[in-house]
Amino acid sequence: MRVEDLTDYPRRMVLASLFWFYLGGVAGITMLLLHLTRLSTPPLYYQLMTLHGFAMPFGGLFQLMMGLSLLRAGFCYGKPVKGRIVELSYILLNAGMLLILLAVAMGARTSYTLMFPLPASGALRGLWPLEAVTVLVWGVVMVVSVIVALYPAALARLIFTGKTQEALVLERFMGTLNPSGMASMLPYIFIIPPVGAAISLAAIAIGVALLGLVPLSSVGWALQSLNFNYPFWIFAHNLMEAMGVMAIGTVYWLVPRYTVREQGETGVRTLFSERLGLFAIVFYSTAAIMAFPHHLFTMPTSQPQGLSYTGQIASWLTGFGAAFSVFNVLATSYIFGLRLTPASLAAMLGFAVYVADGFLAMQLGTIGWAYRLHGTYAATAHLMTILLAVTLIWIGALYHSFQLLFGRPENRKLAYVHVVATAVAALGLLYTMAAMGGLGIPRRAYPLPITDPATIAVLTLFASILAAGQIAFLTQLTRPKTAKT
């Protein structure tokens, strides 16, 4: 067994994720410049918006998470990260993203949330060709099949099956409860396949009908907007929550590895409380399952009021899960002392951004406030920040495994620039967009009907800081192996 058996696919996934991050990032900055200059027509802007929306969370963040979580499970359990399922996950995710890119190039501009039935009504109205919708749907089917089936299967296979090969065990578990860091992968494995099954079937049925293999009328059930949007939000909401839980687990994993002192006489470094960590993960994941109705609060007649109340209470209970984690993480670092490294800094800053954004998420998950904020930039602020926070935490995991993945240590200065710029930009974008949302500025609108150029300039400034951080990372990757660390 070679270390390459652990690192080959994770490295490919990390590098492919960078491609999608950079492509999505260029689209995002172009969107801001178009707002500043008003040089574009709406179709071009909305094509960029759709590309940005698909590339950042799926091609970028999801793929980064997939690579690094498989690597972590691999080197903790001593099992190679390879085989058909891993290979297919990598190929299908990127092939699906390429199909989505092709669909956007063909004119599809549905946004990444699809806004169903917009793909169909847009085609009927002649905004984009039906062929673009077919390509888009099959791209989505491929990406979703990785998210719902292949990736959780690959993770489950690493954790539950096969024999440990001591040569591949690079990090021993620490803690007493099969540590909470690794336990955070379980909600993904057990929650995402069932909650994603319905929307996957609907997408496949629509895709098959679009290819003409069955009459469109036979999939009428999937084409009704309420039938589509409930399974969609049950899936999309829980996907984001499962990614968040896995990110919190990553903080639980990373922080004890950078503490200075050992706990008691056992000689291991653990969280302040492993039990509280495990409890937080179970509590958070369970509450999150029923929080999805907050996406549809603003349908006062169609959504049963009881479902809305459940959504509000569940949304706020996830906040409790986060509160347990805040205490545990800070207590761990304070009690045992923390070593400053790019990995520990990224994990801590990413976690801070995650929690700050979490309060906005709970506000959007409050029925009374949702009627004043839904559909505004406040919602964009929340979504974008949670993705940036989770990305930052995974950047911590990336620096933790940098030597293993790339065969040389990272340059510390460049790494700090990367981490700090990403954190500052995330907070700057969060507060600026939240303020825009408070003023009622509609999201996903071009041209923006109510705003002043200064606000867009501030957004552009923070987006540029974000871009500078990513350029620092690109410089890091392209440095010669012999360069100074």
Partner 1 sequence: MLDTGLGAILLFSYLTAPFLVIFIVLVLLSLRRGRSREGVAQMSLTRAAEVAWLIGVGIVWLTINLFSIPWIPWLQAGAQQTAVDGEAQVVQVDAYMWGYKITPMEVRKGPVKFVARALDTIHSLAIYTPDGRLLTTIMLMPGMREEVTIVFDREGEYVVRCLEYCGDGHGYMYSKISVVG
Contacts to partner 1 from residues 352-411, by CB under 8 A: 352, 355-356, 359-360, 363, 366-369, 371-376, 378
Question: Binding segment for partner 1 among 22-30, 54-62, 72-80, 349-357 (CB under 8 A)?
Answer: 349-357
DSSP letter assigned to residue 410: P
Residue 457 C-alpha from the chain's centroid: 26
Interface residue with partner 1 among 36, 201, 214, 340 (CB under 8 A) is: 340
CB of 456 to partner 1, least distance (A): 14
The stretch among 122-130, 138-146, 178-186, 461-469 that binds partner 1 (CB under 8 A) is 122-130
Part of the chain binding partner 1 (CB under 8 A), chosen from 92-100, 164-172, 219-227, 468-476: 219-227
Structure letter (DSSP) for residue 297? T
Which is closer to partner 1, CB of 339 or CB of 413?
A: 339
- State which of residues 89, 250, 333, 380 lies at the interface with partner 1 (CB under 8 A): 333
- Which phi and psi angles does 69 have, rounded to 5°? -75, -35
Alpha-carbon distance 239 to 235, whole Å?
6
Q: What would the two tokens of residue 4 be?
A: 């390459």
- 130 binds partner 1, rule: CB under 8 A: no
User: Which CB sits closer to partner 1, 14 or 373?
Assistant: 373
The string over 326-355, giving b where at least 16 C-beta atoms fall within 10 Å of a residue's C-beta and e elsewhere, is bebbeebbeebebeebbbbbbbbbbbbbbb
Residue 112: CB atoms within 10 A of its CB come to 19
Establish if 431 lies at the interface with partner 1 (CB under 8 A).
yes
Distance CA 379, CA 366 (A): 13
Rule CB under 8 A: which of 9-38 touch partner 1?
A: none
- Show the tokens assigned to 115: 């806004």
Comparing CB distances to partner 1, the nearer of 194 and 359 is: 359
Site for partner 1 in 147-206 (CB under 8 A): none
Read off the amino acid at residue 29.
Answer: I
> Which pair of structure tokens corresponds to residue 320?
């409790």
Q: Select the span of 5-13, 92-100, 224-232, 414-422 touching partner 1 (CB under 8 A).
A: 224-232
Residues 6 or more apart whose CB falls under 8 angstroms from that of 458 comprise 428, 432
Q: Least distance (Å) from partner 1 to the CB of residue 94?
A: 26
Window contacting partner 1 (CB under 8 A); options: 22-30, 131-139, 150-158, 297-305:
297-305
